[in-house]
Amino acid sequence: MLPVPVILLGVLLLALTTPTTATGQRINRKNVVRRFNPVRTTLSTTTPMQVGNGNFAFGADITGLQTVLPFNILSSWCWANDSLPTTPGQTDPSDYTGMDYWTHGRLVNYAIPNPAEPEISQWLIANPHRVNLGRVGFLYKGRNISTDDISDIHQSLDLYTGVLTSKFSLHGQRVTVTTIADPDDDVVAVEVQSSLLKDGSLGVFFDYPLTTGANKFEAPFVGNWTAISAHTTGLKKVTAHRAVVSHLLGSTTYYNLLQWEQAGSIQGPFNGTHRYLLQPIGRSNKFTFTTRFSESIKGGSGSKAFRSVKSSSTRWWANYWESGAFVDLIASSSSDAEELQRRIILSQYLLAVNSAGKDPPQESGLQNNGWYGKFHLEMTFWHLGHWARWDKFYLLDRSLGVYNRFLPSSIARAQAQGYEGARLGKMSDPSGRSAPGAQNALLIWQQPHPMFFAELEYRAAAAAPSNKATTTLRKWDTLLDELATWMVSYAWWNASTGVYDLGPPMYPSSENTSPNVTYNPTFELAYWRFGLKIAANWKVRQGIEVPTAWMHVLDNLAPLPVVDGAYSISEDQPDMWTNKDYTTDHPSQIAVYGLLPPTPGVDVSTVNATMAKVLEVWQLENSYGWDFPMLAMTALRLGNVEGAVAWLLNEHFQFDDVGNPVGTANVVPTPYFPASSSLLFAVAMMAGGWDGAEGAHFPAHWGAKVEGFTASL
């Protein structure tokens, strides 16, 4: 039997974590969510409206399908390779040798493109790439439909159920289309209502592009629609209400199961295309079908009916909104509160669609391809940390297995470079291979992310009604041990200064310094202290002795570099604040007191001076994405709530009409989802506070209501 104080503590913790607002009244979440249902009355040529489930997403144009624009259908599982180069000596991945760089007196091999092996280097960068699964659209009397044929458009997405409704007139006749993704399967279910169905004027086409590694970014449209002979499709297993289209590109084959409920016939491919036509032939003004994508033809043996997908979606999304933490700012008449609330709700929707898959997401999620569809391990914390802070661990858990899956290749990487432990890669495909690239090989800030995830999970587990702390400690122990071991092995003892240095060569997170001379970056030094401290605590909590080497590095890392009274990016920049090459891109040094809790050596007045310098000289027009939430979190810790709000609404930090985070002209296309996820991470800090400053930190006159948040680290 538990002693009474423990029971009382349990009850107290339960009371603290049960979602209620300060006034004790539950937020009407449905009301807040639906207030921001996106509506479109004109065609957007840059972003679709999306339905999806984190592993699979469908981008719809104004017709609810992909009739006038080929927005994409992307998944976490479908990838393809281009054929290998034929240049002698560069015909296989094993021919690639990387580059040897001097690293503290020895040659270390890095996965950097080798000028003597350009073809195979580039092939490894561009392959495998993520496949655009296809396109679904309407045809009118067998002909293509253009925007000129469409009028009286009203499209709305019900965020609370995941149901997209698109109404328009086609050649003067009304058409209503309902588009829904299955929360558990790679299925889109569609219901069409129109009198145009009665005489067979309306048909549905299915088409399949070749996705190649030709371009680093393919946005907003992915794939090549004219290279018809370079890939093959075929119609299989046709019955009265079902057919399978197989698609073979390179050595990848996948299947598209089409299933329709009313009378219909399918034919294709039409000469010189990969187009198939599903023609409703009943006399009904309703036509209902599903399209399901699968790696195996067995997965093509039946899919749920429209009605069933609709009820699954309705249930899933209601649970999504009603569980976990929530912020309600709608009592405020402030337009800032309204816009922040809009960004919060739409980001919550889009991240569940795009960034909750079996692997970490690519930066453009499942909307279009950037970096060939690959994902970046240094970005995982920005992408996924908010799931923990909003108490949606069930979505975070989907992808965190990637760290254990990549552990063998990370250990191999460390060993090949003469280090102990496991060194995480960067630009990744599901196999764990890190693409060749100077930044890819020389960044280090991806390494402590798992420590941050582990600590957030540990805090939640320890506070849960049934204490799961021991399970969490065991779950992460091997991984944290290997990662910390590399961090210790990588830190270089500088005998002349008596401290451990990080780098050279290395790239700091801003990627705008010269790697052969860059060392002791501010953010990475603090992150090393933060990560190693968590790894050490992990051992202490399990009653295991902390390796002395860990403590020696932890206690003797180089001090944070200061230039003109403010933190610089790294120690090798005496002209940090006067050289325009440095006062641009990510001001990550600000994160040492903001994203990160203070670690030994962080001086608050120096942070404050750094913030003042950033406001004075930083070229914010070149900043993007997570920079603004990162600055907001520092403003919060410095006690400047209004300043934090201003960062989250900065003119260079924009979200479009349906909530897509806008990219930059020359660096990243729209959407750049780290903007959405870091926004939610910062908002969680405003809503739950942090250790020593628990509770909400919104402008007092907003009357903000919050539910289910705990304090941040």
Ligand X SMILES: *[C@@H]1O[C@H](CO)[C@@H](O)[C@H](O)[C@H]1NC(C)=O
Q: How far is the CB of 102 from ligand X (least distance, A)?
A: 4
226 forms part of the interface with ligand X (CB under 6 A): yes
- Dihedral of the alpha carbons of 426, 428, 430, 432, in degrees to the nearest 10: -50
Nearer to ligand X, 94 or 466 (CB): 94
Which residues are registered as beta bridge partners of 706?
Answer: 327
Nearer to ligand X, 12 or 230 (CB): 230
∠ CA 497-502-508, rounded to 5°? 135
Structure token pair of residue 478: 């091997």
102 forms part of the interface with ligand X (CB under 6 A): yes
Q: How far is the CB of 475 from ligand X (least distance, A)?
A: 28
Q: How far is the CB of 553 from ligand X (least distance, A)?
A: 15
CA 5 to chain centre: 42
93 forms part of the interface with ligand X (CB under 6 A): yes
**Amino acid at the residue 627:** D
Nearer to ligand X, 102 or 394 (CB): 102
493 forms part of the interface with ligand X (CB under 6 A): no
Nearer to ligand X, 140 or 523 (CB): 140
- Residue 124: C-alpha distances to residues 79, 128, 130, 682 (Å): 14, 8, 14, 36
Q: How far is residue 251's CA from residue 232's CA, in Å, rounded to a whole number?
A: 11
Nearer to ligand X, 180 or 566 (CB): 566
**Residue 374 burial class via C-beta count within 10 angstroms: exposed 0-12, middle 13-18, buried 19 and up:** buried
Residue number of the CB atom closest to ligand X: 227
Q: How far is the CB of 630 from ligand X (least distance, A)?
A: 18
Q: How far is the CB of 79 from ligand X (least distance, A)?
A: 4
DSSP state of 326: E
Is the C-alpha dihedral spanning 157, 163, 164, 167 positive or negative?
A: negative
270 forms part of the interface with ligand X (CB under 6 A): yes
Nearer to ligand X, 288 or 589 (CB): 589
Nearer to ligand X, 361 or 432 (CB): 432
605 forms part of the interface with ligand X (CB under 6 A): yes
367 Cβ contact list (under 8 Å, min separation 6): 47, 48, 50, 57, 59, 71, 72, 74, 219, 220, 354, 660, 671
Selected from 87, 97, 144, 467, the binder of ligand X by CB under 6 A is 144
Segment interacting with ligand X, rule: CB under 6 A, options 17-25, 222-230, 241-249, 617-625: 222-230
Segment interacting with ligand X, rule: CB under 6 A, options 221-229, 241-249, 314-322, 472-480: 221-229
The packing angle between helices 335-354 and 641-648, to 10°, is: 60
Tell me if 239 sits within 8 A of 289, measured CB to CB: no
Q: How far is residue 589's CA from residue 521's CA, in Å, rounded to a whole number?
A: 8
81 forms part of the interface with ligand X (CB under 6 A): yes
Structure token pair of residue 626: 């997570």
Q: How far is residue 621's CA from residue 642's CA, in Å, rounded to a whole number?
A: 21
Quick count: other Cβ atoms within 10 Å of Cβ 701?
Answer: 10
Q: How far is the CB of 324 from ligand X (least distance, A)?
A: 33
116 forms part of the interface with ligand X (CB under 6 A): no
Segment interacting with ligand X, rule: CB under 6 A, options 25-33, 181-189, 219-227, 370-378: 219-227
Is the C-alpha dihedral spanning 210, 211, 216, 219 positive or negative?
A: positive
Which residues are registered as beta bridge partners of 129?
Answer: 80
Q: How far is the CB of 614 from ligand X (least distance, A)?
A: 11
Segment interacting with ligand X, rule: CB under 6 A, options 172-180, 224-232, 418-426, 655-663: 224-232
- Give one DSSP letter per residue of 130-157, joined into a string: E----EEEEEETTB---GGGEEEEEEEE
Show the beta-strand stretches assigned E in 549-674. 562-563, 566-567
| Cis ω before 269 (30° cut-off from 0) | yes
Segment interacting with ligand X, rule: CB under 6 A, options 46-54, 182-190, 298-306, 605-613: 605-613
Q: How far is residue 329's CA from residue 344's CA, in Å, rounded to a whole number?
A: 10
Nearer to ligand X, 253 or 654 (CB): 253
Q: How far is residue 570's CA from residue 442's CA, in Å, rounded to a whole number?
A: 15
Site string for ligand X, 238-257 (x = CB under 6 A): -------------xx-----
Q: How far is residue 260's CA from residue 421's CA, in Å, rounded to a whole number?
A: 54
Segment interacting with ligand X, rule: CB under 6 A, options 20-28, 261-269, 489-497, 620-628: 489-497
Segment interacting with ligand X, rule: CB under 6 A, options 78-86, 240-248, 319-327, 409-417: 78-86
Alpha helices in 107-204 (DSSP H): 118-126
Q: How far is the CB of 514 from ligand X (least distance, A)?
A: 6
Selected from 497, 542, 578, 579, the binder of ligand X by CB under 6 A is 497
Selected from 6, 39, 227, 281, the binder of ligand X by CB under 6 A is 227
- Dihedral of the alpha carbons of 316, 318, 321, 323, in degrees to the nearest 10: -80
Selected from 36, 58, 101, 260, the binder of ligand X by CB under 6 A is 101
Selected from 52, 128, 625, 689, the binder of ligand X by CB under 6 A is 128
If binding means CB under 6 A, how many residues of this protein chain bind ligand X? 28
Q: How far is the CB of 219 from ligand X (least distance, A)?
A: 13
Which residues are registered as beta bridge partners of 99?
Answer: 110
| Cis ω before 220 (30° cut-off from 0) | yes
Site string for ligand X, 185-214 (x = CB under 6 A): -----------------------------x
Selected from 23, 271, 335, 666, the binder of ligand X by CB under 6 A is 271
Tell me if 363 sits within 8 A of 376, measured CB to CB: yes
Helix (H, G, I), strand (E, B) or coil at 306: helix
In the range 559-588, which residues lie near ligand X by CB under 6 A? 571
224 forms part of the interface with ligand X (CB under 6 A): yes
**Amino acid at the residue 675:** A
CA 668 to chain centre: 14
Q: How far is residue 619's CA from residue 354's CA, in Å, rounded to a whole number?
A: 30
Q: How far is the CB of 55 from ligand X (least distance, A)?
A: 16
496 forms part of the interface with ligand X (CB under 6 A): yes
Q: How far is the CB of 188 from ligand X (least distance, A)?
A: 20
Q: How far is the CB of 605 from ligand X (least distance, A)?
A: 5
Q: How far is the CB of 292 from ligand X (least distance, A)?
A: 20
Selected from 308, 516, 650, 664, the binder of ligand X by CB under 6 A is 516
319 forms part of the interface with ligand X (CB under 6 A): no
79 forms part of the interface with ligand X (CB under 6 A): yes
Site string for ligand X, 654-673 (x = CB under 6 A): --------------------
- Dihedral of the alpha carbons of 190, 194, 199, 200, in degrees to the nearest 10: -30
Tell me if 502 sits within 8 A of 515, measured CB to CB: no
Longest CA pairwise span in the chain (Å):
87
Site string for ligand X, 410-449 (x = CB under 6 A): ---------------------x------------------
Segment interacting with ligand X, rule: CB under 6 A, options 194-202, 294-302, 360-368, 601-609: 601-609
Nearer to ligand X, 347 or 589 (CB): 589
331 forms part of the interface with ligand X (CB under 6 A): no
Show the beta-strand stretches assigned E in 449-509. 492-494, 499-501
Quick count: other Cβ atoms within 10 Å of Cβ 203?
Answer: 22
Site residues (vs ligand X, CB under 6 A): 79-81, 93, 101-102, 127-128, 144, 214, 224, 226-227, 230, 251-252, 270-271, 431, 494, 496-497, 516, 571, 604-605, 608, 612
